[in-house]
Structure 1
Amino acid sequence: MMLRSFVPAVGALAVALPAFAQPAPAAQPLGGPVVPGVCLLSREAVFANAAAGKAASTRLADLTRTAQAEVEAERQPIETELRALEGQPDNPARRQKAEALDARWQTLQQKAAHAGREIEATRAKVMERIANEAQPVVAQAYAAKKCGLLLDRGSALGGNFANDLTGDVVKGLDAKLATVTFERERLPQPVAAPAPAAR
């Protein structure tokens, strides 16, 4: 039995992204004239480069390691007991011990999956908080550049990136929200399904 890693990737907060001022490298930059009123923004780069996003990423990594350590502390004794059973002859006492270990293993897998859901809920909540704090900053940068249309920078294949708001948004968000603190979200434990009745 192998216990799979239970914690999902923390998404945009943990992804190493290129500097926000540089578009993806191309063999030959397309350039071109600035299109008045058309602006670009990379939300992923804002989260990756803003101080609050970096703080959130670090905190999520800490919470993830703690959750993994909790599961690991329970996994090791179960695996030790399973290895001890491997050399024993098959008899009712061995089968009873194996069934008890299997039940503990199933419980641990459920606990690991639940911890993964809690980490994901925590990530979603902090991302929403940072996004809400960034929205007025985006609106201010949008008005300052006289934008009429805002596109996701990640969907642009090339062109002139002079109207990229990302750097301004990162600076504005840093001035507004230097860090972010939070604890792991606690979700209700799922109710175990009742064991089937013996016939």
Structure 2
Amino acid sequence: MNNSDDAGTFVPDPRLKREYLEPILQRHDEALEKLANSRKPYKLEEITGVYFLFRGKSLMFVGYAVDVMVRIGQHWAKREIDFDSYNIVECDLEAIALVAAHFIAKYRPPLNQILPAQPVYKTVKQLRFELDVGAIEIKRWIKEREIPNVNGYYRLWDFEDFKPGVCGPGHRIGAREAGRAGLAPESTPFDRSAEEN
């Protein structure tokens, strides 16, 4: 039986819809109706395991959590790690740390090697939100000061004295230059003196 029209486009066999798709769609319709009629909010199933965060095809970070989906959501919301996809391996709570350590040793993700528990490395995209400035200004700062990076991640303390000021229309300058120009720089998000008090 030929399932294509004259133009070579696939045309599904009508029996396929009747025999296979209709029962599947009916089951899904029933499940959706049941869910809509329930008064309880829907919660994703709690998954205990090891998670892998990817940027493109590169594995960037391996972590573990009792509720993996919540932890991945925290990474995403706080912009701690720049990733665009993830994968999960479920495992028992007793073995979770060992499994994560195995994968970290095997694949050596860059952020597991360089990032301490408190995030002190950020991408330009993350710095934009942290400093509340544009990417062009951050890139200019990086270029002028030849700030090193590891896989696109920059140390936050390299931006401690970064505070945009205004020196003419539309021109922004850092805190040191603002001080020299007579503009009083305010404290930055990285001001260590605020933490000491």
Structure with greater helix percent? 1
Higher relative contact order (CA 8 A, sep 6+): 1
Structure with greater strand percent? 2
TM-score by length of 1: 0.20
TM-score by length of 2: 0.20
